[in-house]
Amino acid sequence: MKKSWVRLAAVLLLTFVFLYFFFRKVDWKAVLSYLTQVNVPLIILVVFMAPIHLATRGFRWKYLLRPEKRTIKFFNTFAANAVGFTVTFIFPGRLGELAKPLYLAQKENIRKGYAIGTVVVERIFDMFTMCFLLGTFLMARPLYSSFFKVQPEAYSHLRLWGIVGLAVASALLVISLSLYFFRDRTLKVISFFLKPFPQGFSQKVLGLAQEFIEGLKFFHSLGNVLVYTLLSFGVWLGITLYYWVFFFAYHVHVPYFSLIPYIFLTMVGASVPTPGMAGGYHYFSKLGMTSLYHIDPNLALGMTIVVHAIQLVVTCGLGYAILWSEGLSLFQLKKLGENQKP
């Protein structure tokens, strides 16, 4: 119990630190003035576009789950993504990353550990995809330097975060490949460390570990990797389109491809395990808008609040509607995710 309170206190402190830097030196009159100067039809379009990433992620996930079950319903993968993001929005610690596969495992009667393994694959490819797009953007600098000027300091920060993201993704990839291709040895090591525990508990953990490793067998086929890579590009280019329309709604005309570094920064901020992505997402979003596109800080603050609110309301609305239709509660899913934590 004490450990949980310490973790919660650390998360809240991190959230407040990011929010402090996000809100400092704000002219609220200017913020409100900017927010009223919005293209209403476009902002309505943005609201309807908000669930697109749930659909593209659901389609991509279906392909990843084919080795386990070919007849998985698209609606269930879409619903699992909506429910998972809802849990992540409401609770700290990114419990939605566990609630999402566990929800789908129950709906489709597939192995829990296998489903969790596929989510690990998803996150690895998300990081690799964005690092590739960011790297392409940085290398293509001579092609757009005349009409899209970025501060040298901003380029330096992008390179740093790109290297960090690539390093993390590479480390996860190496660990995942090692787990899969040396699975017998891995299971022996896990069995050794489980010896002091009761036999029933040890067998359950070992079974989940085996299912998890089998969820990584997607890496065994080069063809699967290539197709999934293309689907990952589709997910993130769709997310970029969403933000591109949102920027236009506030009369900020930025070339489509030039939004890649901003999307990368928001991904970095969203990875901070705070409730509702509060703090980290806000700070990095504002940082990207002001340093990359020279947007007024008050406008950047207002735009960040609006786009985050749209994502929060639409996603949680869908998540709550799905759970309500199935007679489930958000706290049941939270408990489910906590129970699967090591």
176-203 tens-digit pLDDT: 777 777 777 877 777 777 777 777 777 7
Supply the pTM of this predicted model: 0.82
pLDDT, averaged across the chain: 81
Number of domains in the chain: 1
Q: Does 8 map to a domain?
A: no
Residues 286-324: pLDDT tens digits?
988 998 888 999 999 999 999 999 999 999 999 999 988
Q: Output the pLDDT for position 315.
A: 92
Q: What is the pLDDT of residue 342?
A: 45
User: Domain for residue 242, yes or no?
Assistant: yes
Q: Report yes or no on 330 lying in a domain.
A: yes
Place of tokens 């709906």: 107
Confirm whether 37 is domain-assigned: no
Give the containing element (helix H, strand E) for 54: helix 52-64
pLDDT tens sequence across 110-158:
888 888 888 888 888 888 888 888 877 777 766 666 666 666 776 677 7
302: containing domain: 49-339
Position 1 in a domain = no
Quick one: which of 140, 134, 126, 136 has its CA closest to 229? 126
pLDDT at residue number 91: 77
> For the residues of 106-135, what is the DSSP string, one character each?
HHHT--HHHHHHHHHHHHHHHHHHHHHHHH
pLDDT, mean of residues 52-72: 90
Residue 142 in any domain: the answer is: yes
CA–CA gap between residue 169 and residue 173 (Å, rounded): 6
Does residue 120 form part of some domain? yes
* Cα dihedral sign, 43-45-48-50: negative
Q: Kindly state the average pLDDT of the residues 82-90.
A: 88
In a domain, residue 21? The reply is: no
Which DSSP symbol is given to 20? H
Q: What is the pLDDT of residue 61?
A: 93
> Average pLDDT in the 62-89 region?
89
Where b means 16+ CB within 10 Å and e means fewer, 2-36 reads eeeeeeeeebeebbeebbeebeeeeeeeebeebbe
Query: Do residues 270 and 53 touch, judged by C-beta distance below 8 A?
Result: no
Measured CA distances, 211 to 95, 136, 139, 192 (Å): 20, 36, 40, 18
